[in-house]
Amino acid sequence: MSRGLRPDPWTVLRRLTPARVALGRAGHSLPTQEILQFGVAHAQARDAVHAPLHVATLAANLAPLGQPVLTVVSSAPDRPTYLMRPDLGRRLDPASAQHLDQQRPGPHDLLFVIGDGLSALAVARHAVPLLTHFHLARPPEWRIGPLVIASQCRVALGDEIGERLGAPMVAVLIGERPGLSSPDSLGIYLTRHPRVGRLDAERNCLSNIRPEGLPYVEAARRLAWLCQAAIQLDATGIALKDGSIDPAHLAPPNAAAGA
């Protein structure tokens, strides 16, 4: 132990959480090791925000799922603009809008949009295994639309994509804002009857999907529950309370119970 380092009696808590607790003290400051680890975590978070989404690689990894894969971009022409102009990340660029208008995906119950968001790393690591587990958790009669990969994507971009493809429901898988202990956290935003102008209050969210957070199997099960409940209630957001984690609500509520 280096001279002047005071051990923290709360160190036992570090076995229970990845949060920065019980860091110890060296005089009136933190130990050098903790300062260096903080710098690494901060650099990882910054890298996650700025790293590009490798669309071709992701599309190849999605191919075994057996769904057509479409690629689009938002109106934000590059990453710096995307970060400074969130509004541009919520609308398609004209070429992508025209491309989707020319598609004829056929009837489907659910559309997945896979967007880089604020962490392309999260999408690269977790989108494929999550969708693989969802395929096992969903009712077999469900029809899944094409998988849409969206670059420079904000959550609301899924509304326009879903509207143009005639989707009754869209689930946006997107990289969440990185934290100092989670640069690769994936979120899901579910919206019934997507259309431009939908509010965040009209969506349901599952967050922190990664092996160290919400595991793939549980996230897939909860998403399937929410999708079934959304169909029965014909709504998402504040109208749909997530009962998937309550053992008394392992099956979706019926429309009368949710009204």
Domain count, the chain: 1
Residue 252 lies in a domain: no
For 222, residues 6+ apart whose C-beta sits below 8 A from its C-beta are 206, 214, 242, 244, 245
Has residue 208 been placed in a domain? yes
Better-predicted residue by pLDDT, 259 or 147: 147
What is the C-alpha to C-alpha distance for residues 113 and 161, in angstroms, rounded to an integer? 8
pLDDT tens per residue, range 167-208: 999 999 999 988 777 889 999 999 999 999 999 999 999 999
pTM listed for this prediction: 0.85
3-state helix, strand, coil in the chain (%, to 5): 45, 20, 40
pLDDT, tens digit (0-9, with 9 covering 90-100), for 232-243: 999 999 999 988
The residue range of the domain holding 197 is: 50-214
- How many CB atoms lie under 10 A from the CB of residue 80? 10
Q: What is the CATH number of the domain that holds 180?
A: 3.40.50.11240
68 within domain boundaries: yes
Residue 109 domain-assigned (yes or no):
yes
Domain-embedded: residue 190:
yes
Q: Is the separation of the CB atoms in 114 and 173 below 8 Å?
A: yes
Residue (of 176, 51, 170) closest to 100 by Cα position: 170
In a domain, 143, yes or no: yes
**Among 18-27, 68-77, 209-218, whose mean pLDDT is lowest?**
18-27
Exposure of 118 by Cβ count < 10 A (0-12 exposed, 13-18 middle, 19+ buried)? buried
